[in-house]
Amino acid sequence: MRIVIDMNLSPLWKATFEQSGTVAVHWSEIGDPRAKDSEIMAWARGHGSIVFTHDLDFGHLLALTHAAGPSVLQLRTQDVLPDRLGPMVLRALDQYREALENGALIVVEPADFRARILPL
């Protein structure tokens, strides 16, 4: 499993994912920091990666385009640092691994996780 971390999340997330055996890259390492969400989505789709974001626009893009991918793992909380949320995000990643591999929008909130299978 591969993850591209959106610009709105700290590059510190990379270490959190890699400690769990997941390949991760922060968008700032591979693309223009001002890139449109659609460009990040296209890159993720072309590289078999999941988009990890705090941005609601990725879910909207999936819904508007009826795309079957890439999968999106979306944080919906104010505190988005890995030292606090890392274990919860990794649980969601493990719980929904198959759905993410096949195309899904997974929403991670402090109280629970929600999954929507793609296309929306």
pLDDT tens-digit profile of 10-57?
A: 999 999 999 999 999 999 999 999 999 999 999 999 999 999 999 999
Q: What is the predicted pLDDT for the residue at 8?
A: 95
Q: Going by C-beta distance under 8 Å and a sequence separation of 6 or more, which residues neighbour residue 57?
A: 37
Six-digit token pair at 52? 């990890």
Q: Going by C-beta distance under 8 Å and a sequence separation of 6 or more, which residues neighbour residue 79?
A: 85
Whether omega before 70 lies within 30 degrees of 0, making that bond cis, reads: yes
Q: Which domain holds residue 110?
A: 2-117
Whole-angstrom distance, CA of residue 80 vs CA of residue 92: 15
The pTM of this model reads: 0.96
Q: Which of 82, 20, 17 minimizes the C-alpha distance to 51?
A: 17
Q: What is the predicted pLDDT for the residue at 10?
A: 97
Helix (H) or strand (E) holding 84: helix 82-95
Q: What is the predicted pLDDT for the residue at 29?
A: 97
Number of domains in the chain: 1
Whole-angstrom distance, CA of residue 56 vs CA of residue 65: 15
Across the range 57-72, mean pLDDT stands at 94
Q: What is the predicted pLDDT for the residue at 31?
A: 96
User: Half-sphere exposure (CA, 13 Å, Cβ side) for 51?
Assistant: 30
